[in-house]
Copies of this chain bind each other. A is one copy, B any other.
Amino acid sequence: MMEDQPIALELAKEQREISVASFFEKNRHLLGFDNPRKALLTTIKEAVDNSLDACEEGGILPEISVEVIEMGNDRFRIIIEDNGPGIVKKQIPNIFAKLLYGSKFFKLSQSRGQQGIGISASVLYAQLTTGKPARITSRIGKNHPAHYYELHIDTQKNKPEIIKDDTIEWNKEHGTKIELDLEGSYQKGDQSIDQYLKQTAIVNPHVSLIYTNPKAEQLIFPRASEKMPKKPIEIKPHPYGVEIGVLMSMLKVTESRTLQSFLMNEFSRVGSGTAKQICANAGLMPNIKPKQVSRGMAQKLEEGIKNTKIISPPADCISPIGGDLLEKGLRKEINAEFYTATTRPPEVYRGNPFVVEVGLAYGGQQDAEGGIRLLRYANRVPLLYQQGACAVTKSVVNTAWRNYGLSQSRGAMPIGPMTLAVHIASVWVPFTSESKEAIAHYPVIIKEIKLAIQECGRKLASYVNKKRKIQFESNKRDYIQTFIPHVGEALKELLKLKEADEKKIEKLLAEILEKKRGKLEAIEAKNLEYDEEFAKIGKSEDEENEES
C-alpha cells in the first residue's frame, strides 16, 4: 500500500494556511465572546479602552459616551464615541477590520490595548451574529473632513472589506465613533457593563464617562481630576531577559556596525562602558560586525549579559495611578472607615518593567461575613472575568491575612468587610488569554503583588488592633460601670451601711478598678507588641514560602 501511491501524497492535499481571522472566528471564546452577555461587555471594553488610549496618546482629557440600545430579538446596538485625536483615513479599515494590526504591539510603553486584536474581534463578532457591518466615523481636526466607513472583515484573508466610504458632516472637531449591531444579553450586577464603567472611573479619575443603558437610563461618571496621567515614554528592551533567539534576530536586522554600538543602540541602560563590559564577559571583540555573530557567539553574548551588572530599566515607560489617587478613587466609590494604598518600586519580568499598586478600604457598610471584594486592574483596565485563574487572586490567597486582623481558611480568600484593589501596570501585561481577563502566574509578579499587599496589610493591622483595643477598653468601662453600683448595694445591705457609705464604697471601688485598668492597659500594650512581632514573623514566613 505504501508503495504504489504513498498515503502522504493524499494527505498533503489537505494542508493549507489558516488566516488569523478564521482562527479566531472558530475560537471566539479566546477573545471573550463565549456567550452573549460577555460579548456585549467585551465589545464595550475594547472600544472604551481604545478611546482612552487614543485620548491619552493625543494629550486630550477623555470624554467618552457609551450607548447600548436594545433592538429586540437578543440584538443590541452599541455606539461609542470619543473626543480623541481621530484616525487618518487610510488606516481606518485596517484598525477596525484586520486582526493583528495596531500601534502598540511593538512599543515598549504602557497602554490598555497591546495586541491589535480587540476591536477588530468585536467587528468580527458583530458581523458573525448579525451580518451587519461596523460603522465608523473619524475626524482628525477642524480643517479635515469627517470620514465615514462601513466595514466587514474578509475572514479568509483577514483583510477589511469596504462596504461604504464616505465624507460626512460631523459637529465634532476631532474624535472617533464606532457603531456595532451584535447579539448580546444585558444584565446588571457583577461582571456587568455598569460595573466595568464604575471600576474604570475609580482608576481613571481624569476620564469623563456618559453611559446610556438599554433602559435609556443615563449614568454620568464625572471627571474627578483635570490632571492627565504622566505620559509613558517608550523604551528599548533591557538586556536581562532577552533570549538567545531574540538576540539572534536583533543581530540580523540591526543597522549598527559593531557589536558594541549594537548593544548601546538597541538596549536600554547600556552605555559604552557597560557594552564593553558585556563584550569582555562574553569573550567577544567589541568591534566585530553584528551580522558575523554566529549562534555560538550569540550564546556567549547571552552569558556575557547575564554576568554583567546592568541597572534596572527606567520606569518612565510606566504610568502608575499613584497611591494617593488610588486611595482617592476608593474613597469616592466605597463607603469605609479606613483607607490605605501603596505603589511598589518598578520590577522586571522577562525584560519587561512593571509596577504593582495596591489600595484597600476597610470596614464601614461593607459585608463583614463574606469574602472580601477584590478589584483587579491591568494598565488601568478593570478585569471582571476569570478571577480564579489570575495571578492577583493567587497572591491574595497566599497572603497570611490573619496577621492583619481578617479571618481566612487555608488557601481561601480572606473574610471581612474589605475591598482590595490591585493594579499592575506594565509595558506588556502577560494575560492568560487574548481576552485579557487574568494575569499569568509569573513568580516575580506574584511576589511583587504580595509585597504590596503586605505593606497595606501592616497598616491595616495597626488600625484593626487600635480599633480592637478601643473596643476592649470601652467594653471594660461598661463592665465597671454596671458592676460597681451592684456591689455597693450588696455591701450596703450586708453590712447595714448608710446611703453615704454606699457612695463612698462605690467611689473607692471605681478607683481600685481604674488603677487595675492601668495595669491591664500595660499588659494589653505588651500584647500589642507581641501582635506586631507576630505580624513580622508571619511576614518573613510568607517570604520564605515565596522562595520554595
Contacts and interface: CB of A to CB of B under 8 A. Distances in A.
Contact of A11 (B57, B173, B389): B57
A330 B41 CA distance: 44
A80 to B, nearest CB: 18
Contacts of A58: 7-8, 11
Contacts of A27: 115, 430-431, 434
A213 to B, nearest CB: 25
Interface in A418-457: 428, 430-434, 440-441
A534 interface: no
Interface in A8-37: 8-9, 11-12, 14-20, 22-23, 25-27, 29-30, 34
Contact of A6 (B20, B140, B298): B140
A295 B132 contact: yes
Contacts of A12: 87-88, 91
Interface stretch (A123-131, A283-291, A314-322, A366-374): A123-131
B6 A174 contact: yes
A140 B8 contact: yes
A480 interface: no
A88 B433 contact: no
A17 to B, nearest CB: 5
A485 interface: no
A9 B386 CA distance: 38
Given A18-B105, A441-B34, A6 B244 contact: no
Contacts of A3: 141-143
Contact of A20 (B20, B34, B143, B299): B20
A15 B91 contact: yes
Contacts of A248: 131
A2 interface: yes
A1 B17 CA distance: 46
Copies in the complex: 2
Nearest to A5: B141
Contacts of A59: 1, 7
B295 A131 contact: yes
A245 B129 contact: yes
A101 interface: yes
A105 B20 CA distance: 12
B9 A140 contact: yes
A145 to B, nearest CB: 12
Contacts of A517: none
Given A88-B8, A131-B245, A116 B295 contact: no
Nearest to A60: B7
A107 interface: yes
Contacts of A156: 249
A100 interface: yes
Given A12-B91, A101-B15, A131-B299, A115 B23 contact: yes
A102 interface: yes
A72 interface: no
Given A12-B87, A30-B434, A388-B389, A18 B101 contact: yes
B85 A18 contact: no
B144 A7 contact: no
A94 interface: yes
Contacts of A7: 57-59, 85, 140
A131 B129 CA distance: 44
A172 B16 CA distance: 27
B9 A88 contact: yes
A246 interface: yes
A479 interface: no
Contacts of A107: 14
Nearest to A125: B245
Contact of A173 (B2, B94, B298): B2
A269 to B, nearest CB: 21
Contacts of A19: 100
Contact of A94 (B15, B115, B247): B15
B389 A129 contact: no
A18 B116 contact: yes
B143 A100 contact: no
A25 B410 CA distance: 37
A352 to B, nearest CB: 9
A9 B29 CA distance: 35
Contact of A86 (B6, B141, B144): B6
Contact of A244 (B25, B129, B173, B249): B129
B85 A8 contact: yes
Contact of A23 (B22, B54, B100, B174): B100
Given A16-B103, A17-B101, A156-B249, 13 more contacts: A2-B173, A6-B140, A8-B58, A8-B174, A9-B88, A9-B140, A15-B95, A16-B102, A27-B430, A27-B434, A29-B430, A128-B245, A389-B389
What are the 3 A-B residue pairs with the smallest beta carbon separation, nearest first? A128-B245, A14-B103, A8-B140
11 contacts: A2-B173, A7-B140, A8-B87, A11-B58, A12-B88, A23-B100, A29-B440, A34-B441, A128-B246, A129-B243, A130-B244
